[in-house]
Amino acid sequence: MAEQVNALPYKANLDIYSETLQRLAETDSNIIAVTSDSRGSGKLVPFGKKFPAQIIEVGIAEQNLVGVAAGLASCGKKVFATSPACFLTARALEQIKNDVAYSNNPVNVVGISAGVSYGALGTTHHSLHDYAALRAINNIIIVAPADNYETEQAIEVAAKTNAPVYLRFGKKPMPPLKETTGEVFQFGKGRVITEGTDVAIVACGETVYPALEAAHLLKEKNITATVISMHTIRPLDTDLLAHVAQQCKAVVTVEEHSVYGGLGEACAAYLLQQGICKPFKIIGIPDEYTVTGSQADIFNHYGINKEGIAAQAMKLLQ
C-alpha cells in the first residue's frame, strides 16, 4: 500500500505542509515548529532533523503548546503550533482564545488529522467541533486547504500573515482540483473549481474533491454545477457566495464537521440575512453518536461522497 501511495502524482496535505515549512525555514530562522508529541504524525521529523534549533517538543500538553507558541510569536517568531485537531481545539481552547486571538499573537495553530481522519479510533479522536468553536472567537482566521496547491499556498501566506491563523489538515492524499497556472491564492477568497447554473456546491478541506466528483455525476444527467473550494471559513468569501447563490437554483454545502456551527451554517446565515433564499442543504456529520470506521467508511455512511452529494443536489432541484 505504501508503494501505491508514493507512486501517486499527489500527496497528503500534511506532507506538503512539512515540505513547505522546510523550504521556508531554509531562508528564515524565525520559522519555529512547536509540537505536542506530534512530530511524527505531523510529518515534522524531517524538519526537526534539518533544523533542530527551530523545533520545540512540549510533550502531550496542548495548553503548554499554545502558551509557548504565543510567547515565541510575541517575540517576533513565525510559529507553527502543531497538534491533533481534536485535542488542540478542545484542551487548549482557552489558550487559543486568550493567549493567541485576544492577545493578537500571530500564531499559526495547525490542527492535524482533522475531521474523521483518525477513523476507527472513534469519536474521541474526531474534530467535528473546531470550526464552530473557533468561529465564536474574535480575531482568528480559519483555513482548511483542499489540495496540495492550496496547502502550499496557505502555509506561505500564513508565514507572512501578522495575525492568528488556524490551519486544518487531514491525512489522505488529495488529488489536484484544477490547473493553477496564473492563479493567486488569498485567505478569504474562495476558488471556483467548476462553473454551472443549476446548483452551487460549496465545500472545504477534503470534502471538495468528492464535491467535484459529484459535479461530474450531475453533468451526466445534464445538470451543471458550480463547485467552490471555500478554503477560508473565516473570513468567508461572501461576495463569491452571494454571486453563485444568485446564479444557481440551489445551494449545497459540504464539510467534514458537525452540521452545527461550521461552513454550512456560516453560508446559510449570510445568505438569509442578505435576502437570498434558495433551496439549501448542509451535508456534514449529523447530531448523533458518530459511526466508527475509516474516513471513507464514515464519509460513505453520511453521504459525504459523490453519490450522496449528487443525490442531495438533485433532490433540491426537484
> Domain holding 227: CATH number?
3.40.50.920
Together in a domain, 220 and 274: yes
Residue 117 lies in a domain: yes
Residue 83 β-bridge partners: 111
Per-residue pLDDT at 181: 80
Domain boundary among 101, 133, 168: 168
Query: How far, in Å, CA of 256 to CA of 240, rounded?
Result: 21
Query: How far, in Å, CA of 25 to CA of 283, rounded?
Result: 38
| Cβ atoms within 10 Å, residue 104 | 15
Together in a domain, 276 and 231: yes
Residues of 283-304 as b/e, b for ≥16 C-beta within 10 angstroms?
bbbeeeebeeeebeebbbebbb
Estimate the share of the chain in helix, then strand, then coil, as percent rounded to the nearest 5: 45, 20, 35
Residue 2 lies in a domain: no
Residue pair 175/147 in contact (Cβ under 8 Å)? The answer is yes
Residue 178 lies in a domain: no
Reported as a single tens digit per residue, the pLDDT across 251-288 is: 999 999 999 999 999 999 999 999 999 999 999 999 99
Together in a domain, 198 and 161: no
Residue pair 177/148 in contact (Cβ under 8 Å)? The answer is no
Together in a domain, 245 and 284: yes
Query: How far, in Å, CA of 115 to CA of 87, rounded?
Result: 12
Together in a domain, 131 and 205: no
CA terminus-to-terminus distance, the chain:
42
For residue 164, what is its C-alpha cell? 492568528
Query: How far, in Å, CA of 150 to CA of 205, rounded?
Result: 9
Residue 27 lies in a domain: yes
Domain count, the chain: 2
Domain boundary among 168, 201, 234: 168
Query: How far, in Å, CA of 233 to CA of 151, rounded?
Result: 15
Together in a domain, 211 and 62: no
Residue 219 lies in a domain: yes
Show Cβ contacts of residue 5 under 8 Å, excluding neighbours closer than 6 positions.
Answer: 173
Residue 71 lies in a domain: yes
Provide the sign of the torsion angle of the four alpha carbons 104, 155, 148, 111, taken in this order.
Answer: negative
Together in a domain, 109 and 195: no
| pTM of the predicted protein model | 0.95
Per-residue pLDDT at 5: 45
Together in a domain, 162 and 201: no
With cell 476558488, the residue in question is 191
Which 3 state secondary structure label does DSSP give 265? helix
Per-residue pLDDT at 43: 94
Furthest-apart CA pair in the chain: how many Å?
Answer: 60
Strands 232-234 and 141-143: antiparallel
Residue 176 lies in a domain: no
Q: Which domain holds residue 227?
A: 191-317
Together in a domain, 122 and 19: yes
Residues in the chain where the model's pLDDT stays below 70: 1-7
Together in a domain, 213 and 274: yes
Q: What is the mean pLDDT of the chain?
A: 95
163: phi then psi, degrees, rounded to nearest 5: -160, 160
- The one-character DSSP state at 289 is P
CATH code assigned at 157: 3.40.50.970
Beta strands in the chain (DSSP E): 31-35, 55-57, 78-84, 108-112, 141-143, 165-168, 191-194, 199-203, 225-229, 232-234, 250-258, 280-285
Residue 185 lies in a domain: no
Together in a domain, 149 and 210: no
233: phi then psi, degrees, rounded to nearest 5: -80, -30
Together in a domain, 111 and 233: no
Provide the sign of the torsion angle of the four alpha carbons 52, 28, 81, 73, taken in this order.
Answer: positive
Per-residue pLDDT at 9: 83
